[in-house]
Structure 1
Amino acid sequence: MSLLTVKPTKFDERIARTVARKTNRRAETVARGLTWGADEKILLALAAAGWVLSRTQGKPLRRAGNHALLVAALASMFPHLLKTVFDQTRPDRKTVLGHIHGISFSGKREDAFPSGHALHMGALASAAGPLPAGPRWAIRALAVGLCLTRIIVLAHWASDVVAGFALGAALERMLRLWTGYPIKETDDAAT
């Protein structure tokens, strides 16, 4: 039992009811597969591989590698810490109709708030800020799309996803103060 219980909003409940009514097994299978793209273990492995590869590169890429690994590690720990403070029943535990339509159970029953997947995606979307417009918007669209899968599989209420995304973006921005990401052109010229 955690310290605080978070209740879903009426809007959250309306969205979950709509998903439960309108989904089907195929949509759920696709969404379950896609949601792995925001899984902490996969993202940690990718960040670690990127960090290793960045070690032989110039200062901007080494700094980006350091930043990515630190963000991935803290974004993995932060939701687990918050879930010790907050309890919220997952929407997939509150539907029978959804299960008939193919929705399966996600994670621990009371661990809806915040969405860890969305926290990672918020951090990724924020970290994409210094990139050129094309890649930046592609990464941000991917991040939002992966967040939506958490609502489609009823693993989280919409507000959990929004909160997780915002927390991830805030975490990434705060860590910039420590890691120095992105490297400024004046910093690069000094090396």
Structure 2
Amino acid sequence: MRRWRVPIFEFDTAIARAIARRAAPEWERPLRLATLLADERLVLGLSVGAWLLTRPQSRHRRRAASHILLSALVTSALPHALKNVLAQERPDRLELGRKRHGVPKSGKALDSFPSGHAVHMGALAAAISRAWPERAGWVWTGGALISLTRIALLAHWASDVLAGAALGAGVECLLNSLTEARSDVPRQ
């Protein structure tokens, strides 16, 4: 199947080139550790764990954990599906020469759009903020910082991360609307 090419914007290239010029091995290890916080396996594992732990707790916590798990499941599948029809070369393949300065090679070369890590962070930040609005600022800040590691590691263009976060938040909003509408239907 032929994949549709996603364009790379000038601002993406400018950001990636600036990062590539300043890449240093001492920064790469902490960035790789931070980016793991949005890895789909970890996100799914923590979501399942939270769901299991909330079963004996309040109705609010059970519903929140169920919604977070649903959001994690959907946003784990969505980037893979999109990457089967969309193609965009990763910045580490285009902006780095033979000397990678500690920057790891990320994923498949043409799987840059969208950032799956950012999709997860957008969905989780939206879901957690919905359940606990008093924590929204911290949650969104943490999600943004973790997502930005994908740009700093040259795994994704800035637009991949922005689109991924927006897509994740949009999916969470849609899932919330669907589950809220379903919970309003009287049971017989």
Same-fold call, TM > 0.5?
Answer: yes
* 2:15 matched residue in structure 1: 15
Cα distance in structure 1, aligned partners of 2:153 and 2:144: 15
Q: How is 1:14-53 mapped onto 2 (pairs within 5 angstroms)? A: 14-53=14-53
Moved more, 90-99 or 2-11: 90-99
Cα distance in structure 1, aligned partners of 2:177 and 2:151: 32
Matched, 1:125 2:125: yes
Cα distance in structure 1, aligned partners of 2:171 and 2:2: 23
Q: How far is the alpha carbon of 1:55 from its aligned partner?
A: 1.2
Matched, 1:3 2:32: no
SS at match of 1:104: coil
Aligned partners of 1:21 and 1:98 also within 8 Å: no
Aligned partners of 2:129 and 2:139 also within 8 Å: no
Aligned residue pair count: 183
* 1:100 matched residue in structure 2: 100
Letter in 1 for 2:20: A
SS at match of 1:170: helix
Cα distance in structure 1, aligned partners of 2:77 and 2:114: 12
Q: Normalized against structure 1, the TM-score is what? A: 0.89
Cα distance in structure 2, aligned partners of 1:56 and 1:36: 30
Matched, 1:175 2:175: yes
Inter-CA distance 162–2: structure 2 relative to 1 (3 Å threshold): farther
SS at match of 2:130: coil
Moved more, 77-86 or 90-99: 90-99
Moved more, 127-136 or 147-156: 127-136
Q: How far is the alpha carbon of 1:88 from its aligned partner?
A: 0.5
Letter in 1 for 2:42: I
Cα distance in structure 1, aligned partners of 2:126 and 2:98: 33
Cα distance in structure 2, aligned partners of 1:159 and 1:15: 10
Structure 1: runs of 5 or more not aligned = none
Inter-CA distance 178–80: structure 2 relative to 1 (3 Å threshold): same
Aligned partners of 2:89 and 2:112 also within 8 Å: yes
Inter-CA distance 71–110: structure 2 relative to 1 (3 Å threshold): same
Moved more, 3-12 or 37-46: 3-12
Q: How far is the alpha carbon of 1:33 from its aligned partner?
A: 0.9
Structure 2: runs of 5 or more not aligned = none
Cα deviation, 1:52-110, whole Å, max 9, x if unaligned, reads: 11111222111112111110000000000000110000001113358432212000110
The percentage of aligned residue pairs carrying the same residue is 44
SS at match of 2:8: coil
Q: CA RMSD in A?
A: 1.9
